[in-house]
Chains A and B, each alone.
Chain A
Amino acid sequence: MSHQDHGASHPKYQAHHFKTMEQQTSAGKLGMWVFMAQELLFFSGLFCAFGYVKFMYPEAVALGQSSMDWRLGTINSIILLVSSLTMSLCVRSTRSNNRSAAAKFLLATMVCGFVFLAIKGAEWGMHFHEGYFPGKYFHPIAEAPIQNPMAHVFFGLYYVMTGMHAMHIVVGLGLMLWMLVRIVKGEFNSENYVALENTSLFWHLVDIVWIFVFPLLYLSK
């Protein structure tokens, strides 16, 4: 007997333990959504911590916020929003079997991710330049606009939150690289696209988290 006895038609990308392709697809999607709930709770821990710090040290937080460059933050927000769009377009192209468009949209998304990281890195560099190092290394240089040592509680969390977020971006870029290879190899099509769609979901999550991080750290006073 051949492999066929597991079920009627068995596309080659359908794993043996699924009965149908729809079952596999919907399982993959649900898995990712559940995983995202987990990611949200992970970040919500950081948001609670930030809420606590802001509640305890409103002046120090306001002081720290005043040193944030909201223009760079806004640019980065726009970049992420655009990247979410290109990512969605990539999935859409895949679902309509347009491989080259998918690859291009994915590349565009990755470029956005890199630009975001570059800007974020430049911001950190600027803060370091003023001597606003994290935690106990917080020693503003004499010319720095913020001298109040309590501001370190803001910067501590600022580095942790943006750092965690940036780490997710790096993971997202890694996933996209992997997806790019698979697109080029022609593994995805209108039937088989869950991995790509899940990567896209992950990327949207990174975007959404930033939509909360940005006003909290840069804008709210």
Chain B
Amino acid sequence: MLTSHHDAGSNYLNAKKGFMSWLFTVDHKRIGIMYFVSIGVFFLVAGLFALLLRAELMQVRIPDATATSYMISADHYNEAFTFHGAIMVFLVIIPSIPATLGNFLLPLMIGAKDVAFPKLNLISYHLYIVGALFLVYTVAFGGLDTGWTFYTPYSTQTSTSVIAAVFGAFILGFASILTGVNFIVTVHKMRAPGMTWVRMPLFVWAIYATSVIQVLATPVVGVTLILVAIERLLGIGIFDSTLGGDPILFQNFFWFYSHPAVYIMILPAFGLVSEMITAHSRKSIFGYKAVAISSIGIAVIGFFVWGHHMFTSGQSALASVFFSLLTYGVAVPTAIKVFSWVATLYKGSISFTTPMCYTFVFLFLFLIGGLTGIFLGALSTDVHLHNTYFVVAHFHYVMMGGTIIAWIGAVFHWWPKMTGKKYSETWGIISSVVVFIGFNLTFFPQFVMGTRGMPRRYYDYLPEYYNFHLLSSIGSFVLAIGLFIVLFTWLHSIFYGEKETRSNPWRAKSIDWTDTAVVPIEHNFEKQPISSHGPYEFDELVKPAKAGEH
């Protein structure tokens, strides 16, 4: 039934027209889409820089190198990996899921018309763009060669544009905090009647836990970045040891944020995977409450393990032992999630759709990423592996193999809801296979290189690493092809795709599917949804489900 002011066919995409109606919208769905496009662009840019790095590493020249035999100079290599890393971390992976799907889905999933503070939401987006401009500015003017970590004392000494970069990161942090505040209040105050805490979809739990981390960790890095800027300008002697300060203090501050930040990156992905696994195996999630609480558990423990980044930096041995021990603590709630996924899949009626294929890719890659994390959390092995390519491989498996893959899969999953279009399942599945092959080819050799001592952030290397680097570079081009297939599948769907007619093509059980139009209308719901059951009550449907699946 349509009421008078929502004409048939009217939805959030066409309710208002023109560029400005997007740029100044307060509709959480449109803001989500704008984030998606912006983050996609930055992903592309930073990805091209990654290919540049890999191209540079495709050759070994140390034995008879001359200055001109390098594709890019050592300094430019430093700037390129800093740019790649900083853009990927601050502009892509941290906001990726919360800002795009979080924005789009959170109110839909809890049955609200919008987030609690729509204008604040828009301000967050604008801040994100301003912060991004600062970071991009640093490449164009002066470069930045500290790595995305801004480690002191180097960052207080280098002549490159640190201040603009930390200022940009500060603004981005503020955007992140405001989004977090908004989401926390939305979850607390905007739930539909009957939507109790244990009836919330797991993605909502994940986003909620993420928001708590965003609000509590980000201000610490904010003040740290300000101190770095002040140190550079005035030399107040807080991080600079020649002035009486302590660079390890910087590392403590930095990792107090940046370790929890890895959970800002991965927790939302966990939530998405839970959603996709239940929907595409048509089974209720195994151990709902344990999975929900484990998100909070991860968020809490995540605050106490930052010291595992500093095993080799001269912190006390006792501290290192504690941090190592606590690090293993995070494995418990994480394992709860993994077991829940496996148990949910068990005897489910799994349909091999594109989102499901990406979910499998995620499970495989995250498993490797997670297990190799154990090597780095263990004091003894980390001393050997620290700052080698093992670390590079590990975090790419987690961040890209985990977060980005889950994100892509989830975009396929909610694509019909977001765009009202169908996409080509064939190309979707092909893309997942190409990405899977390319990804492993790129990053697996790096584990081997790392154990053999290849340091990270080097633009040249001894001949014995040549084959591994070659494989890795070839892999990166395969991976790039896979990602371009994803892009073309989406673009093709937008311009030539068939219209989706079903409002719930996966026959899911959560409000975002059951109570919305094919494409949600401007204020989400024609009438206030009421929640009367959990989000995954599939069980009674397990048998007949197989027939109509596509």
Instruction: Kindly state whether residue B89 has any CB partner on chain A within 8 Å.
Output: no
Residues of chain A within 8 A of B3, CB atoms compared: 1, 5
Question: 1/0 per position for B170-181, CB-CB distance to A under 8 A?
Answer: 000000010011
Chain A residue total in the interface (Cβ 8 A) = 40
Question: 1/0 per position for B319-336, CB-CB distance to A under 8 A?
Answer: 000000000000000000
In the complex, residue of chain A having the shortest beta-carbon distance to the beta carbon of B26: A17
Q: Find out whether the CB atom of A31 lies under 8 angstroms from the CB atom of B185.
A: yes
Question: 1/0 per position for B254-275, CB-CB distance to A under 8 A?
Answer: 0000000000000000000000
Comparing B221-229, B380-388, B489-497, B500-508, the segment that makes contact with chain A is B221-229
Interface residues on B, range: 35 or more
Instruction: Kindly state whether residue B113 has any CB partner on chain A within 8 Å.
Output: yes
**What's the least CB distance linking A163 to chain B, in Å?**
9
Residues of chain B within 8 A of A49, CB atoms compared: 227, 238, 249, 253
Instruction: Kindly state whether residue A156 has any CB partner on chain B within 8 Å.
Output: yes
- A27-B189, A57-B244 in contact; A37/B215 too (CB < 8 A)? yes
Q: Find out whether the CB atom of B189 lies under 8 angstroms from the CB atom of A134.
A: no
- A1-B3, A153-B244, A160-B230 in contact; A38/B215 too (CB < 8 A)? yes
A-B pairs with beta carbons under 8 A, tally: 117
A187 CA to B181 CA in the complex, in Å?
25
In the complex, residue of chain B having the shortest beta-carbon distance to the beta carbon of A49: B238
A15 CA to B219 CA in the complex, in Å?
29
Q: Find out whether the CB atom of A42 lies under 8 angstroms from the CB atom of B219.
A: yes
- A1-B5, A34-B215 in contact; A157/B238 too (CB < 8 A)? yes
Q: Find out whether the CB atom of A45 lies under 8 angstroms from the CB atom of B237.
A: no
Instruction: Kindly state whether residue A145 has any CB partner on chain B within 8 Å.
Output: no
In the complex, residue of chain A having the shortest beta-carbon distance to the beta carbon of B252: A48
Instruction: Kindly state whether residue B4 has any CB partner on chain A within 8 Å.
Output: yes
Q: Find out whether the CB atom of A34 lies under 8 angstroms from the CB atom of B181.
A: yes
A52 CA to B247 CA in the complex, in Å?
12
Residues of chain B within 8 A of A159, CB atoms compared: 236
Instruction: Kindly state whether residue B370 has any CB partner on chain A within 8 Å.
Output: no
Residues of chain A within 8 A of B5, CB atoms compared: 1
Question: 1/0 per position for A103-126, CB-CB distance to B under 8 A?
Answer: 000000000000000000000000
A35 CA to B176 CA in the complex, in Å?
12
Q: Find out whether the CB atom of B223 lies under 8 angstroms from the CB atom of A52.
A: no
Contact of A157 among B184, B233, B236 (CB under 8 A): B236
In the complex, residue of chain B having the shortest beta-carbon distance to the beta carbon of A133: B234
Most buried by B among A34, A44, A136: A34
**What's the least CB distance linking A92 to chain B, in Å?**
24
A-B residue pairs in contact (CB < 8 Å), sample of 5? A5-B3, A30-B188, A48-B253, A157-B236, A160-B236
Task: A45-B253, A135-B237 are known; give 7 further A-B pairs, CB within 8 A.
Answer: A23-B190, A34-B215, A41-B219, A42-B223, A45-B223, A134-B234, A160-B238
